[in-house]
Amino acid sequence: MAGLSMHHPWAFAFGLLGNIISFMTFLAPIPTFYRIYKTKSTAGFQSVPYVVALFSAMLWIFYALIKTGEGFLITINAAGCVIESIYVIMYFVYAPKKEKLFTAKIMAALNGGVFGLILLSTLLLFKGDKRVVMLGWICVGFSVSVFVAPLSIIKRVIQTRSVEYMPFSLSLSLTLSAIVWFLYGLLIKDKYVALPNILGFTFGIVQMGLYMFYMNKTPVGTEGKEAGKLPTTADEHIIVNIAKLSPALPEKSSEVHPVAEMARTNCGAQAAAAAENRNFDAFVTRGPTVRVT
């Protein structure tokens, strides 16, 4: 059991639980990619969340290897590297040529250039404990920037008075994951693991509080322009951008419904209404959408 963080009797338990929760998080986008496989199209989805998640896993593996004795960090992030790589490969297979090129550029810049720069600079410029400290703060900075992503969701919920874009299961997953990894970092006395999850826990609690407050509220614009507004590409990717690193994507947000498809549904509804000689505003039913920290 050497290397699996036996610093404290409870460290093993929290490390194992953290691995289980995070592993389920990595598997959350499977319904989305199954739909992509069935339709043979990425349907406008972006690859950035999965490329970033792959970079995060690579970074934490490097940190765990440099520090040594961090078996749980290695196991879960190794699994993450494999799973996220599969997602990216599937994206390459079914994405349009323009998106493939964009994804290749992002991977070359982030997973190749930035990671390579971090690897070389920490190995060549620092030694011993200073190397661990420098790499640890890099991991903290990157993790904090990822946890800040839910701010866009929180703002949207307050503006629209609708929790459609912030499912409770997503917020709960964020909170549980943050709590477990915070306690794990605390028990093994690793501030670089514990600190980012304080922010993750805080945002998770805020999101669940907002969900409880707005869950029965009437969304703004139900009878106005917002009700008939078709979701934009940015809307479709809000949860994905969170899901990239730590957040588990809920079942509700596991499918893609392109704008064109929804527009056709809306037109069909209006035509049916005209045939029945009734006047009413067409309501666009928003299907399950997709994340991702």
Quick check: is 89 in a domain? yes
Query: Most confidently modeled of 90-99, 137-146, 261-270?
Result: 90-99
Cα–Cα distance list, 269 to 229, 266, 279 (Å): 15, 5, 12
Label residue 221 by pLDDT band (50, 70, 90): low
What pTM did the predictor assign? 0.68
Question: What pLDDT does 171 receive?
Answer: 75
Label residue 244 by pLDDT band (50, 70, 90): very low
Quick check: is 64 in a domain? yes
The total number of structural domains in the chain stands at: 1
Is residue 248's pLDDT more than 50? no
Percent of the chain topping pLDDT 70? 69
Question: What pLDDT does 119 receive?
Answer: 94
Averaged pLDDT score across all residues of the chain = 75
Mean pLDDT of the region 196-218: 85
Quick check: is 292 in a domain? no
- Structural domain of residue 17, as residue ranges? 9-218+235-244
Amino acid at 182: F
Q: Are 166 and 210 in contact (CB under 8 A)?
A: yes
Quick check: is 264 in a domain? no
Is residue 256's pLDDT more than 50? no
Label residue 124 by pLDDT band (50, 70, 90): very high
Task: Give the CA-trace dihedral at 153, 81, 6, 184, to 10 degrees.
Answer: 0
Quick check: is 22 in a domain? yes
What kind and span of H or E run contains 27?
helix 9-27
Question: What pLDDT does 117 receive?
Answer: 95
Quick check: is 50 in a domain? yes
Quick check: is 195 in a domain? yes
Quick check: is 268 in a domain? no
11-29 pLDDT, tens digit each: 899 999 999 998 988 888 8
207-212's contacts with Cβ under 8 Å and 24+ in sequence apart are 207/150, 207/153, 207/154, 207/166, 207/170, 207/171, 207/174, 207/175, 208/168, 208/171, 208/172, 208/175, 210/154, 210/157, 210/158, 210/163, 210/166, 211/157, 211/163, 211/166, 211/168, 211/171
As a whole number of angstroms, the distance between CA 122 and CA 131 comes to 6
